[in-house]
Structure formats: C-alpha cells, structure tokens
Structure 1
Amino acid sequence: MAPIIPICERAVLRLKRWPGLMPVAVLLAQPAVVAGASAASTLTMEQQRLGAYVEARMAESDGAVQNAARAYAQALRLDPASPDIASRAFRQAVLAGDRALALKAARALDAAGLSQPDSSVLLLIDAMARSKWKEASALLERIEQEGNFAFIVPFMQSWVSMKDGPYDPPVVPVDKPYAVFAVRYLEEQLLLQRLALGDGVGAADTFLQARARGTAFGPAQRDAMAARFAALGRADLARDLRGTMQPASTSCAAVSHDFTPQGGLSRLLARLALDLIGQGDPTATLSIARMASFADDTDDDVRLLVARAALVADLYAEARTEAEKAGPCSPAYLEAQSLRLRAMIASAEDAEAVAEARRIAGAGDAHTLRLLGDVLSQTKDHKGAVVAYTQARALMQDKDDPALLLQLAAALEQSGNWRDAKPLLEKVVERAPDSTAALNYLGYAMADRGEDLPRAIALLERANRIAPKEPAFIDSLGWALFKAGQPDKALPLIEGAVAAAPGNAEINEHLGDILWALGRRFDARAAWRAALVGLDADKGEDAVRMRINRKLDFGAEVPKPAS
C-alpha cells in the first residue's frame, strides 16, 4: 500500500490556501462518481482514504469536532493501520464524546505500541466495564509507568481490590512524585468506597471531615450520597447533603445509586478537570472531562463539567448538547439549564434563551426565577434581572442569602441604581466577609466612582489576600490606587494583571489609561489597541469600542486620578 499521509498533508494545505479546490474534497469523499453518461466508476480505495482524511483534517482545523470525528471514523475504517489517523481519530473522538470511536482508536494505538496516556486510561475504563480486573491491574501498572495519570493508580488499585479481593483501602505512597497532588483526592475516594462497602460509621466520619475542609460536591453526587446515607440509617446526614437543593417533582421515580470503580475513576478525572478548568489549553481540560464521562455516563455532575469545559473551549454546540442530557428529574437539572442557556447566548441566540428562561420560570419558584435573572443579566437586560431577582428573594426563606443579594446588587448597579445597590453589597460583605466576589465588586465600584477610596482600597487588598493570583482582583486594586492618585503604585499591578490575562479588554484599557497619565503616550496607545482586540464583536460592546477609539484618536475620556 502506498503511503497516503504525506499526500494528504499536501492536499489539506492546498485546500486551505486555495478555497476553489474545496469541491475536490467533496468529490473524494463520495463513495462513487458518475463517469460520463454511460457507466458508474467507483473511486479507488486510495482516493476514498484520501478523501476521508482530507475531510477530517479540514473539520479538525475548523474546530468542528463532531464532523471531524465522523470523518476520522471513516478514515480509520479505510486505513486501520495508520498511527496518524488513529491518533487524530482518538483525539477528536474524545472531544466529541464518541466513546466507541475513541476506544477503537485507542485499541489501534495499543496494537501499534503507541498508546497515549489518556488512551491507556480509556482502555482501563473498558476493562473495568467488562469486569476484567486482572487486565485492569495490568493497565494500572502501565499508567503508573507513563506518568501523566499516575495519580489515579493508588485509588484505582484499591477499587479493583474491592472487586478482585482482598480489599485494600487507598494509600498514597509519599515517595511518589504525584503524592502531594493525589492526597487532595484521598478523602473523597475513601468516602465513596466506604459508601460502596456499606460502612455507615466510616462513611459518616469521612464525610464530616470532608465537610469541615470545605469539599464541594455536585448536586447529583450529593443526592446519591444522601440516598446511601439514608439507607444506612443516617437520615440526618441525608438531610444535610440535600440542604437547599430543589426537591424533585413528585412525578419523578426514585433512582438507585451505585458506587462503582468506574464511578470512582470518573470522580478522580472530574476533580482533575475542575482543578484545570480555565487554565492552559481548554481542549485538554475538555478531554479529561470527556474521559470522566466515558468512565461513568450516568453522572449528571460530570455532564455539567463537560458542558462547562466545552463553553470555555468555545464549543457551544457540544456544551448545549451535553447540558440537555440532564433530565427534569435530575438534581442537576437547573444547573444544566443554566449552562444550556449560556451556550445559547454564546451562540448569539439571546432572544431564544430569554424565551426559554421565561418558560422555565413559569414554575414560579425562587430557583427558576434566579435562573431567569441570570439569563437577563447575561443578555444585558439588567432592569429585567432586578425584577426577577427581587421576585426570587421574596420567595426565599433566607431573604438575605449572600449569593442572591450579590446578584441583585450587581443587576441594580449595572442598571444605574448605585444608591440601592451599595447597601446590598455592604450587607453581603457583612454576612460573607470572605466573599472575594463581593469584596471586589464593592471595592471596585466605590473606587471607580471615587467614593471613600481608602476603604475601597482596603476591601480590594482583602480580596487580593484571599485570592492573590486572580487577575481581575489585581486589576481592581491597581485601578483603585490609580484613582487615589498613585499611578506609580498602580502600574506594576495592572501590568501583572495584563500578563496573567492578556486578552482581557478592560484590564488592557486600564493599563492604557495609567500609562497615558504617566506621560507614556505611545505605550498607552499600544495597550488600548490590545483592548480593542480583546473586545467581543458579538456581545454588544460598541460603546466600549467607541470610547477606546476616542482615546486612541484624541486622548479623550481618559480618567484622571484624584489630585
């Protein structure tokens, strides 16, 4: 067989450079063409392989992961021995959530001796799904040698021992390079295993430790653990776990919850993705989240995670599709709806999103009204959001819930009603003194208006002590110092914030304003140009764009620090 990959690489390059050749790819991708008027001529196998590969590469380069996965499935079928196709098929299949194709590609890579770290994890998932525990143990040895996902090994060896015997609780070896990282997951894994074993006393003890350390569990996981604790005679912990979760409809049937090795692995990978989300390559985080969903495709918390990761990766259709999988009886339903509506807004379907949010809010409860308020805020209808949040507050037992008060205050401030927003923000800071979001919002809003700058700076310094590496908080503090007449102190802070978030339009605009005030006009204009690049053309930021352009043209509207 002649090698096709070099030919395909050149074909893709030509197609990308000369769009007029695009019909060639369409032609090559067809199973047959009509040759003249007399007979049908079937494409050669070489042409079919080339066509499928070119179509897949084009879809991949365009970020169309579903189309890329479908085309790579065809390419892999036609050329199963190609490691390049298997590797690319695996990567796109994972992003697209196509477990069957990902597993086929992982097996092809394994047969060629070219397994990738996450393809070994998928082979482990498959072995556990088939109850092949010896095979799973062998794969865990390989995963430890490969290194990237070695942190899962002590936990999964313990889960496998639960099935293959004798059971050994998880122990993180202190001499391993991943020990400091893996120990963060020990408590949760031990809790899940004790629930799986029916050890009510041990599970209760571990849960109380986890709660004391602030471990956050998703709604589906809380519901599953609550059901298990109730079955183990700990109704008090069941109530504690369900807390203020919206109760399921009476029409929803009770769901049994199993705690399995696959579920344990899913939670490990989900925790890793949560730790990484918003950092580095967003597609890498989405891949890990997808792998968590391959391990346990019944976990709605993982579906929420996949949807969030897809949103960060700008894969809005994938985010929406994943969020829609959580049904109305799921404890994660409202969060899933929130993500689905965010994906619609990100896809410029604002009117449709608002209409859908109003339909959901027809239930007339505080949860759905808050969801409506969120959507109205995201679509810049801040006055409408004030109404929705106010209605939600009236229905809540705790009418000064800090999270809702912050949402209401933000909507009031954004709608131009600072007089009513400020006392609500003050109440949030009083009730939740470590809320960095509230400290930053109140401090920045005061500083931007030139109000009580010493206190504004104190609030923002507190936010930065609690979360010292958050670019938005660093920018707020720098801006407050600038407004207080200290541009020299403000500049290094804003420069650091820009370095941490180079695409943030607001931070770049602040940098330009400070540089202008310091007389560095050329550098200021460079920063404002960077701010223009960071603006999103689809989010109604025309007024901001006009303001920055006026600064570029005339140096106009540059805020002045206090004298």
Structure 2
Amino acid sequence: MSGYSDRNRTDASAKKRNCSSCRLAAGLGMDKMPCMSQNSLLPDMRFPGFLSRAGNVPAMTPMRTTWRRGILLAASLLAGCAASGVGSGSSSGIGHLLHISSSAGAHQSAAEDASARAYGDFLAGRHAALQGAFNQAADSLLQAMKADPGNRDLVRQAFIACLMAGRPEAVNLARQLPENPAAQLVLANDSVRDGDWDAASQRYAGIGQNGLTQLLQPLFSAWTQAGADRINGALKTLLPHIQGGQLQGIYALHAALIADQAGRKQEAASFYDIAAHSLGAENLRLVRIMASWQTREGHPEAAIRLLNNLGSGGEVLGMAIPALIEASAKPVVPTPADGIAEAYLALAATLRQQPEGADASRLLLRMALDLRPDFTEAKLLSADILDADKHKQGALEQLSGIKDSDPLAPLAQVRRVVLLDETGHTDQALAILDKLSKQFPSFAFPLVLRGDILRNKQQFEAALNAYDKAIALLPHPQSHDWSVFYNRGVTLERLHQWPRAEADFQKALSLSPDQAAVLNYLGYSWTEQGMHLDRARQLIQRAVEIRPNDGAIIDSLGWVLLRQGDRRAAVRYLERAAELVPNDPTINGHLGDAYWETGRKLEARYQWQRALSLNPDPTERPRLESRLEQANQDADASTTKIAP
C-alpha cells in the first residue's frame, strides 16, 4: 500500500497562546526574563488513557507519541482535577522564568564595563541557558561575574543558572539578592536543611502573598511549624484552606502528612479521607501515601489492593507495583523537610497542566530537589518538562539520576528508552528493553515498545518478532491491548502478509470498536485491494465521525468513494483533505486522480506534479510519474490533433 506511512497522521500545530502567566513573574523576581516556553502538546496524564498501552497511536508514529501510551509521569498526577483553575486567572499564573535575560542593561554593562572575554562568557552563558544547559551556563556566568562583580543583573542571572543546575553557589548568590523572592526561597530552604525552623519561617513569610507564593504560603507556614514541633499551629494554619477552594485536596493531604508524622492517627485518617475524595483514587502520589498509611496501620491487604488497582491501568506502572508494595512499609514523606519538598512538587505538577506553566514548574521542582535530592517524582516531572522543551539531553541526565532500586525505576527506564532512541542511541535503548524483559518476563510492554522502535526504523521482520513474543504474553487480551494487534497488523501489512494483518486489524476492532486509526487502516487497505468496498466505506465513515478534522482519514473516505464511482463526492472530500493537510503527497496524488476522473485534467496534472514535489513514498513515486507522463502525452497528442 503505497504512501501509507502517514495514513493515520493528524497534523497538529501548536497554536500560540497569550502568556496568561507573565503577570506574576514579578512574584518570583524574574519578570525581566524572556519567556521561551514551547507550546507543548501533552495529554492529560491522569487515568485511564495515559497509562494504557492502547493510546491513540498512529501506524507509524514518532516515538514521542508511542511512549505516551504507556508511561505514567507520576508527579503530574498529584494535582489531579483539584487544580483545574490554577494558572488561568490574574493572580495565579507565572512565566518568564529560568532563561537568561538579553536586556539592554545586561548587554551594556557586559560590553562597556567588562572585558571582551567577560562579554563572551556572558553570551556563552546566555546561550547555554537557552538550551537548558544550566550547569554550563553557571560556569560561564560565574566567570563573567569575576570581571563585573557589581553587576546586579549578572548576579541575578548567575543565581538562576546555579539554582537550576543545583549548584551550591546559588546560596551565596541568593544572599546578594535580598529583594528577589526566588533567592529568598533558596535561603529559606537552606535554613530548613540546617533545622533552623524559625529562620525558615521568617524567610518564607517574607516572600509575600502574590500569585504562586499565595498558594505556597500556607504549606510553608504549616511545615515550618511542624518542624518546630508546633503541630496544633500547623494544622490550624491549613484548616481554612481544607474547608474549601480548588486546592482543598492538596492542603488536606499535607495536613494528613503532618498529623501522621506527629503520631496523631485519628486526625491523620480524617485528613487522608478528605484528600482521597478530593484528589481521586487514580492519583499515584496519593495512592503511594495512602498505601503506606494502610500498611503502617496494620492493613497491608488494603494497601496491596490500592496499588494493584492503580497498576491495572497499564503495564509500565504494573512493573513497578511489586516494588511499590514493598516500599509501602515506610512513610513516603518522613520529615518536615520532605513535606516542604512535597509542597513544591504539588504546585509544580499543578502549574505544569496550565498554559505557560513549564518554567514555574521547573523552578519549583529544582526547589524540591534542593531539599530532597532523591525525589524520584520530581525528577520524572522535570525530565518531562525538559523533553517537552526539546532539551532531551537534560531530560536524560535527570532520569539517569534515578537508581535501579527505586520503586519507580521502570518508569524512568522506559522514558530513557524513548529519549535514547530519539537522540540516535537506539542500540542503548534496545539494550535497556532487553534488560527490562528479563527483569519482568511476564510483562509484554518491553517487547511492545521494542516492536514500536523497530517498526519506526522500518525493521519490520525484527519488529514482527517482538510483537509476536509480546502477544504470546497476552492470552486473554483486554480492550486496552487493541494497539498491540493494530501495530502488529501494520507490520504484517508492510511485510505483505495480508491475511494475518487483516486478522490483527479485526482483532483490534473486536477489542476496541471505535478506534479511528484501525477503522481507517483496515478500510483503506480493503479499498486499495478493491475488496469489500461497501464495508470499507462504512468503516472509514465511522472513523471520520470520530475524527472529523483528520485529513488522512477524510482522504481515505474520498478515495473509497472514487473507487465506488461517486466522483463528485470523492472530489469534495479529497479537496477537504488537501485543505487540512496541504503538504501530504498521498492526498495530493489522490486529488489528482479524482480531478482526472471528472475531466479536470489540467488540475489533475498540477496535483500530481505537486505530489511528486512533496517527497512521496518510494513505492508511490513510480505511479505518480506514470500518471503524469501519460497525462502529458495525452495533452501533447490533443494539441497536435487540433493544430492548423
């Protein structure tokens, strides 16, 4: 089937959003920093779809889409639906963080008052920061500071670079920025590490009550009081926020953790119940905390049930469940310092779901890791943000810091697999999958992902071998397993094993009947072979109903209508498809065929020429060239015939 590699592609371009977050940049003292956030197209990472192996995966999808079928980003689940409104109002967004300023003042100072080398260091630091290489940026900016130590803007920028790189110099630089709220957070964290809870409380309180800090202040206040063993005051601080508001669940969870650490079990149980009802049972972070509570309270069966229910959402998380069960014997948040890190994570996960929230999330996650360097969920979320911002090496560095013994290590390993493949290290990616297959021999996912990688590399024989082994581990396939059969069907079709491919497509539909990708692929395949055209049209029409703005699927409908002789309708649908996906060679070629069939021969020749200019599939090119050559010959013959 020529040109079918893009048959299920849906072109989705990120639309620019107005930066609703920028108004609160001043809240962290970073309002001068240029906003470089990418408009990332991330799914809602709550259950069930994000955990399933059976996400809506195109036939030949980029690996970025593939891993989203099965990988749970644990931290992003913490906020859940409780934070649905955060970031959209005038007092809760935040942006323009983390990236080194190119303000005129910085340029003038570096250019006029510092040496040329210092200016070069400044430019190198700025470039490194824009690439997300904050450690390199810190080196360059600290070097530039030696030539211009009094430049406050340079100090501020070096501070941000050191902060984001996790460098100890951030603390000393923060002391030079008494008016900068982010610097005060760093100094407050430093007091927390030293166990100086009164100093930490004063630092946190001095940051103010604007925007993001307004959400964090109750948590900071409660945890610093808990650290000073003032439990009544800590719980009293949180109670008004637990009684209402969009972050009710987060505040209740932190009250529960404080009461739990203090051994006040009855109050802890009550607050845990409020948090569970507010955040939902599909929240990994909450389930981990609740499972630990149940185990430590003598109810290990309840803990196992909670975690197993969570693991039923997909095999990636399923691989982590045994280790999570074992880890539930210990508190998930054992100290007040860990509680403050948890507060940073909660708000980072909340903001990550908002437009332009990535920069604020990255800063908050850095604060969390500052207090708890082994905070796996913070590393996972940080890696996700770096990946979305195209900083794949930085994402890999975050993930490499997660130990193999960590309960969530399988999630990190699968993320590493995808990033390694995307950065050209496919052999390393496949080696990790081999290790996972040996470590979890009863789980199909490592084999499925291996098949996906090889299929995307067009190594179809090897991909088929991986899919066959994966499906052998699925004796009783569930609805979420449809994509495994679908992707094996695509692989079989590419290997010209149509009977087996057809059976897999039909199996996928039997598991999940309304998958537009499968409906379209099977319907289009039948159309190409000139078989079951009525049924093919029905399948494709159903796919169009599900995805009415998918150009590739609309093209399929036009194509089957043309094959059935309904030329006018075919032209209408194919023109619509070409509007939606103007640079698709297959669609333009089909539109040319439809124009030719309706006598619009000049337009047909134009469409075929355009299709050839769009780098069609090698198997598609000969047909297009033949059609165009014959059309040109016909045109020449017609011209000769009517010549005087």
The alignment's TM-score, normalised by the length of structure 1, stands at 0.66
**In structure 2, do the counterparts of structure 1 residues 453 and 248 end up closer, same or farther at CA, with 3 Å as the change threshold?**
same
C-alpha distance in structure 1 between counterparts of 2:483 and 2:357, whole Å: 31
Aligned partner of residue 238 in structure 2, secondary structure: coil
Aligned with 1:374 (options 423, 445, 449)? 449
Deviation, structure 1 residue 163: 3.4
Structure 2 equivalent of residue 407 of structure 1? 484
Point out where structure 1 has 5 or more consecutive residues left out of the alignment: 12-43, 431-437, 465-472, 499-505, 533-541, 557-563
**In structure 2, do the counterparts of structure 1 residues 205 and 286 end up closer, same or farther at CA, with 3 Å as the change threshold?**
closer
Deviation, structure 1 residue 443: 4.1
* 2:161 aligned with 1:92: yes
C-alpha distance in structure 2 between counterparts of 1:208 and 1:403, whole Å: 26
Greater relative contact order, per chain length (Cα 8 Å cut-off, separation 6+): 2
**In structure 2, do the counterparts of structure 1 residues 361 and 135 end up closer, same or farther at CA, with 3 Å as the change threshold?**
same
Alignment of 1:497-508 (within 5 A): none
CA contact under 8 A between 1:409 and 1:425: conserved in structure 2?
yes
**In structure 2, do the counterparts of structure 1 residues 169 and 7 end up closer, same or farther at CA, with 3 Å as the change threshold?**
closer
Structure 2 equivalent of residue 228 of structure 1? 293
Amino acid at match of 2:333: D
Alignment of 1:29-40 (within 5 A): none
C-alpha distance in structure 1 between counterparts of 2:418 and 2:512, whole Å: 28
C-alpha distance in structure 2 between counterparts of 1:326 and 1:92, whole Å: 22
C-alpha distance in structure 2 between counterparts of 1:73 and 1:80, whole Å: 9
* 2:506 aligned with 1:423: yes
Deviation, structure 1 residue 341: 1.7
Q: Deviations over 1:239-286 (max 9, x none)?
A: 02331443249999986533442232133134225424xx65866654
CA contact under 8 A between 2:551 and 2:577: conserved in structure 1?
yes
C-alpha distance in structure 1 between counterparts of 2:166 and 2:300, whole Å: 39
C-alpha distance in structure 1 between counterparts of 2:249 and 2:585, whole Å: 38
Aligned-residue sequence identity (percent) comes to: 15
Aligned with 1:68 (options 137, 151, 158)? 137
CA contact under 8 A between 2:577 and 2:587: conserved in structure 1?
no
Deviation, structure 1 residue 486: 7.6
Task: Say which one has the larger Rg.
Answer: 2
CA contact under 8 A between 1:440 and 1:460: conserved in structure 2?
yes
Deviation, structure 1 residue 493: 9.7
Structure 1 equivalent of residue 122 of structure 2? 53
C-alpha distance in structure 1 between counterparts of 2:133 and 2:570, whole Å: 48
* 2:429 aligned with 1:353: yes
Moved more, 442-451 or 406-415: 442-451
Deviation, structure 1 residue 324: 1.6
Q: Deviations over 1:476-521 (max 9, x none)?
A: 77656666748868988997xx7xxxxxxx7863997499889998
Structure 2 equivalent of residue 168 of structure 1? 236
C-alpha distance in structure 1 between counterparts of 2:258 and 2:516, whole Å: 40
Deviation, structure 1 residue 337: 0.8
C-alpha distance in structure 2 between counterparts of 1:447 and 1:205, whole Å: 49
Moved more, 149-158 or 338-347: 149-158
Q: Name the Cα RMSD after superposition.
A: 4.9
Amino acid at match of 1:422: F
CA contact under 8 A between 1:515 and 1:521: conserved in structure 2?
no
C-alpha distance in structure 1 between counterparts of 2:328 and 2:240, whole Å: 39
CA contact under 8 A between 1:8 and 1:53: conserved in structure 2?
no
**In structure 2, do the counterparts of structure 1 residues 91 and 204 end up closer, same or farther at CA, with 3 Å as the change threshold?**
closer
Structure 1 equivalent of residue 333 of structure 2? 258
Structure 2 equivalent of residue 20 of structure 1? none
CA contact under 8 A between 1:307 and 1:319: conserved in structure 2?
yes
Structure 2 equivalent of residue 336 of structure 1? 412
Aligned with 1:237 (options 302, 307, 318)? 302
The alignment's TM-score, normalised by the length of structure 2, stands at 0.59
Structure 2 equivalent of residue 33 of structure 1? none
Alignment of 1:445-524 (within 5 A): 445-446=521-522, 448-449=524-525, 452-458=536-542, 461=545, 485=569, 509=584, 513=588
**In structure 2, do the counterparts of structure 1 residues 262 and 9 end up closer, same or farther at CA, with 3 Å as the change threshold?**
same
C-alpha distance in structure 2 between counterparts of 1:323 and 1:387, whole Å: 29
C-alpha distance in structure 2 between counterparts of 1:267 and 1:150, whole Å: 16
* 2:364 aligned with 1:293: no
Deviation, structure 1 residue 196: 4.0
C-alpha distance in structure 1 between counterparts of 2:107 and 2:550, whole Å: 49
Deviation, structure 1 residue 127: 4.0
